């Protein structure tokens, strides 16, 4: 599969939602598809749900272009994921500091697996605390507590 082919297919698909959309693909271990659109808020959706759906569809398109083999693809619209990742990392570190200082555990809001992974990675080297995923989907969340 060529980078240009994926760009063209995704751009043609996304033009149904925004005629002025721009698509850029970065090839690597995971193919990064970056989409810039005038109405990016609509394309991202509430809590990124629409973005996740687009990512699923674009993964299917990439697999077809690659001859039905699985291709790891990550889709971002208007740098939503980049901003969300930074926000989650800052929240996780702030909560971990609070837990470490107070000695009391705290539970974050329910998150999808991608968001929970960001928090776990941000806290893996934080001394004196542990982060544990608890609950069942779709209400699964992270509990940050002092290390025992």
Distance CA 142, CA 105 (A): 10
Coil, strand or helix at 39: coil
Fold of the CATH domain 3-78: GMP Synthetase; Chain A, domain 3 (3.30.300)
If DSSP codes are grouped into helix, strand and coil, which group holds residue 119?
Answer: helix
- Delimit the domains of the chain by residue range: 3-78, 84-146
pLDDT in tens, 62-77: 999 999 888 899 999 9
From the options 3.30.1370.50, 1.10.490.10, 3.40.50.720, 3.30.930.10, give the CATH code of 84-146: 3.30.1370.50
Residue 56 dihedral angles phi and psi, to the nearest 5°: -60, -45
> Facing residues of 75 across strands?
33
Q: Give the global pTM.
A: 0.79
pLDDT digits (tens, 9 = 90+) for 98-134: 999 999 999 999 998 889 999 999 999 999 999 999 9
């Amino acid at each position: 599969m060529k980078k240009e082919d994926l760009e063209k297919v995704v751009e043609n698909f996304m033009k149904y939602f925004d005629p002025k959309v721009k698509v850029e693909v970065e090839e690597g271990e995971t193919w990064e598809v970056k989409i810039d659109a005038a109405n990016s808020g609509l394309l991202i959706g509430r809590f990124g749900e629409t973005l996740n759906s687009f990512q699923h569809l674009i993964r299917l398109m990439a697999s077809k272009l690659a001859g039905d083999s699985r291709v790891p693809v990550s889709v971002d619209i208007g740098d939503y994921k980049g901003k969300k990742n930074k926000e989650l990392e800052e929240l996780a570190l702030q909560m971990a500091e609070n837990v470490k200082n107070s000695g009391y555990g705290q539970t974050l809001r329910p998150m999808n697996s991608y968001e929970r992974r960001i928090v776990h990675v941000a806290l893996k080297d934080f001394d004196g605390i542990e982060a544990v995923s608890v609950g069942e989907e779709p209400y699964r969340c992270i509990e940050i507590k002092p290390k025992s």
